[in-house]
Structure 1
Amino acid sequence: MSTPDAAPLSPARTRLALLALALGGFGIGATEFVAMGLLPQIARDLLPSTWSQAPDDAIAQAGVVIAAYALGVVVGAPTIAVFAARLPRRRILLGLVVAFTIGTVASALAPSFPLVVLFRFLAALPHGAYFGIAALVAASLMGPGKRGQGVALVLSGLTVANVVGVPLITFLGQQSGWRVAYLAVAAIFALSVAAIALTVPWQPGDPQATARRELGAFRRPAVWFALLTGSVGFAGFFAVYSYVAPLATEVTGLPESAVPWALVTLGLGMTLGNLIGGWAADRGVLRALFASFGVFAAMLLGLALTAPWPVGLFVFLFGVGAAASALSPTIQTRLMDVAGDSQTLAAAVNHSALNIGNALGAFLGGAVIAAGWGYLAPTWVGLLACVPGVLLALAGTAVTAAADRRSAVAVGA
C-alpha cells in the first residue's frame, strides 16, 4: 500500500498503522462491553427505587443500556457507510473516533437513566462504520489473499479489550463508580485519535461509489442471509455475555470480585477465536462458518450444564467466547464475498447484524430472568439460537450456489 506521493510503507509503519486501527477497536470493545460487568452498579445508581424493591428487575431493566448501544450500531453502520464510501478513509476514521470520544463522555456525565440510554445510542452510531472502513484499510495494508486476517487484526482490538480493558475498567467502575469507568474509556478514544492521525496513511475513498450503488447490496439475497446468520448467532452469545456478572455471583456463587476474572476468561477466548476465525476464513469461509456454529453450540451446552461449579464456568466461558468470536471475521469475509461492488457497506453492516444480535440477546436474556427462570436461563436461550443460525447459513449457501449455476448457464449460452 502506498500513498499517492510517497514510497510504499515500511513494515514498521504498516505495523504501527494496524496497531492504531486496533487501538480504536480496543476503545470500541471497552465502551460496548464494560456495561456487562457494571449492570448492578448502573441499576443501583440510576434505578434506586426499583433496586430497593427488586434488584433482579432493576438489573434486567438496566440491560436497556446495552440494547440502546446495540441499536445505535444498527442504525449508524449503514447510514454512515453509504455516505462515507467516497471520502478519504483516514479522515472518516478520525471523525468517527472523535464522535466516540464525545458520546462516551456524555454517557458518563448524563444525570438520569433515560439520558444515559440516549447517549449510549448516540455514542454507538460510528461503531459499524469505523470497523467497516478500518477493515478495508487493514485489508489493503495486508495485501492480497489476507482479507480475513486483516479483518481479524482490526477486530483484535475489540477482543483484547475483553481480556485487558473491560476487566480493568470493570474493576475501576466497581471501586470508583461506573461513571469513572466510562471516562476512562473516553481517554482511550482520545489516544486513538492521535494514533490514527500519526500512523494511518492517506487512502482515497472510492470515487465511483454512490449511495445507490452501496445500497445495491441489499438487493442480493445472499447478503440478507449472511446478515441474519450473524444476528441470530450473536443473539445467543450476547444472551450469555450480557448477564455474566449475575451468572458468576448468583449461579456459581462467586464474590463480585470474581466478575472481572470471568470477563478476562471470556475475553481470552474471544481473542483466540477471532484470530482462528480470520485464518480459517481465508482458507474456506463456509467451512469456517459451520465449524464455528458447531463448536459454539457445544460450548453453550457445556456452560449450561456446569456453570454452578467454578471450573465449569471458566472453562466454558472461554469456549463460548472463542467460538462466538470466530464467527465475526468469518461472516465479515462472507459479506465481502457476496456484496459485489458495495464493499464499504458490506464491511460496515456486519456490525449492524452483530448488534441486532446484541440487542436481541440482551432483551431475551433479560426477559427470561424477569420471568423468574433464573440467571442460567440465558445460556439455554443462546443454545436454542444456534438452530436458526445454522439454518440461515445453509439457506445463504443454497442461494449463492443457485446464483452461481445461473451465471454459469448464462455464460455457456
Structure 2
Amino acid sequence: MSASCPASPRALSLEAALARLLEQAPTPSTSEPVALAAALGRVLAAPLRSPLAVPHWDHSAMDGYALRHADLAAADGWLPIGQRITAGTVGTPLAPGSAARIFTGAPVPEGADTVVMQEQCERDGERVRIPPECKAGGNIRHAGEDFAAGTEVIAAGTRLGPQHLGLAASLGLAELMVRPRLRVAIGASGDELVAPGAPLGPGQIYDSNRLTLGAMLSALGCEVIDLGRIPDDLEATCATLARGADAADLVIASGGVSVGEEDHVRPAVERIGTLALHQVAIRPGKPVAFGRVGDTPFFGSPGNPVSLFVTCALLVRPLVLRMQGVGGDLAPRRLRLPAAFAWPRPDKRREFHRARLVEDDSGQPRVEVFASRSSASLRSLVWADGLVDLAPGVTIAPGDPVEFIPFTELLH
C-alpha cells in the first residue's frame, strides 16, 4: 500500500463535518399522540413502559398435557384427563391425580406445575400416559418471565419499526406519543433543469435531484415540501430559500454551492443567513454547505446526482435523524470484506465509491466496484448495493480488506 498528499486543509474531514452538523442540529421538544397503525417510522418521544407483566399469567408453551409432576409416581404414569383448555379459555383447578389437555397459549390451571408435549405422551380414550422421565416444570411460560409491569421496553428516541409496533400492540396500547414529522423544504438549482415529462430544449436536462432527494427524505419519515427549480439568479435564490425556511424545519438545495459565477446558493445563504461549513474532504461531494437561513438549518449538496446521493446518505441522513429526535449512535453499520478489485490510482481525498457484493469461487462475499468514477452516473447507483469507503492515497490489491456500507444502512 502507498500514500499520497493529503486533501485541502480548507476541507473538513467527514467526521468533523458530521460532528459540526449534529452539534448544531436542533432537537424536537414537542410530541403528539398517533394511532399505533400510523406510528411506523415515527420517533418515540418518551420511554415506553409496560403497563402489565409479560406473560400476564402462566401459560403453556406447547400443545400437550398439564399435570402435577408429583402425581406421576403413584399413577404409574397414567392419568385421567379431567378437562380441556384451549387458548382464550380458563380451566378449573386441577383435580389431584389428573391431567388437563392443554393447547399453546392457554392458561395453566391452578395446581399444575408441568406441561408435557403431546408427541411424548400416549393417549388411550380419556386417559393419558406421561413418560416418567419428563422434566418437572417444563413447557410453562411463567407470569413476568419476559418482563415485569413497569419495565422500559422501548427507549425514547427509537425510530419505530414493525417489531416495536407489535410489542406495543401486545401490551394493549392503541396509540403512542411520538415526535412531530420533520418538515424539509427541497429545491434544485439550475436554469438547465426541466421537469420529467416535459420536452427538452437545447442544453436542458431532466431534474432527477429533487425526486431522488425527496424520496430519500420520505423514506426517513419526513414531510417533504417541494420548492421547485431554483433559478440561476441571486435574488431569486434568496427568495426561494427564505420561503423554504419559513415553511420548514430544514431546507436542502442541490447545486449552486461551489464557487462558479452561476453558483448562487452559497452566496444567498451568506447574505440571508450564516454558513458554518462549505467543504468536506470526500469524493464525490466535496462542495457542500451547511448553515442557517434565518433560524432554520440549511444543507446544500453538489448538483451532480451521485454527489447528491452520497452526501445525503452520509451527512443529511444523520442530521435528519437527530432533528427527528433519534438518539444514540447514528453511524451506519459496516462490513469488512475482501476487495474483488484493484485500486492503483487512489484519490487524495477519502472516496466513497459505488460498490456491490459478489461471491468468489468458494461462495464467500467480496466487494466489487463500478468501473467509472463519474459522479453524474445514476446508473451506477442502480448497479450498486452500497458504498465502499476508500482511504485517501491508499492503493488496494484484490483480496485486501475494505469497508463496505450497504445501502440498507444509508436509506432508512
TM-score (norm 2): 0.23
Which of structures 1 and 2 has the bigger CA Rg?
2
Which is bigger in relative contact order (C-alpha 8 A, separation at least 6)?
A: 1
- Decide which structure has greater helix share: 1
